[in-house]
Amino acid sequence: MELKINAKLNINSTYKLANGVEIPVIGFGTWQTPDGDVAEAAVLDALKAGYRHIDTAAIYKNEEGVGRGIAKSKIAREELFITTKIWNGMHTYEDAAGALAESLEKLGLDYVDLYLIHWPNPLSARENWQKRNQEIWRYMEDALEAGLVRSIGISNFHDHHITSLLETAKVVPHVNQIQLSPSEMQPEVVAANDKYGILSQAYSPLGTGTILEVPELVQIAQKHGKTTAQVAIRWSLQKGYNPLPKSVTTSRIIENIDVFDFELTEEEIKTIEGLSGCGKVASNPDDREF
Q: Look at residue 3 in the predicted model and tell me its pLDDT.
A: 43
Per-residue pLDDT of the chain (290 residues; tens, 9 = 90+): 554 443 489 999 999 999 999 999 999 999 999 999 999 999 999 999 999 999 999 999 999 999 999 999 999 999 999 999 999 999 999 999 999 999 999 999 999 999 999 999 999 999 999 999 999 999 999 999 999 999 999 999 999 999 999 999 999 999 999 999 999 999 999 999 999 999 999 999 999 888 999 999 999 999 999 999 999 999 999 999 999 999 999 999 999 999 999 999 999 999 999 998 887 789 899 999 88
Task: Tell me if the pTM is above 0.75.
Answer: yes
Q: How far apart are CA 276 and CA 121, in angstroms?
A: 25
Closest by alpha carbon to 121, among 156, 167, 173? 156
Our answer to whether residue 93 is catalytic in this structure is no
pLDDT of residue 95: 98
Locate the domains of the chain by residue range: 2-206+240-261
The pLDDT value given to residue 1: 52
Rounded to whole angstroms, the Cα distance separating 95 from 128 reads 16
∠27-121-102 over CA atoms, to 5°?
55
Catalytic residue among 15, 51, 60, 241: 60
* Four-way CATH pick for 2-206+240-261: 3.20.20.100, 3.40.1440.10, 1.10.10.370, 3.40.50.720: 3.20.20.100
What pLDDT sits at residue 252?
97
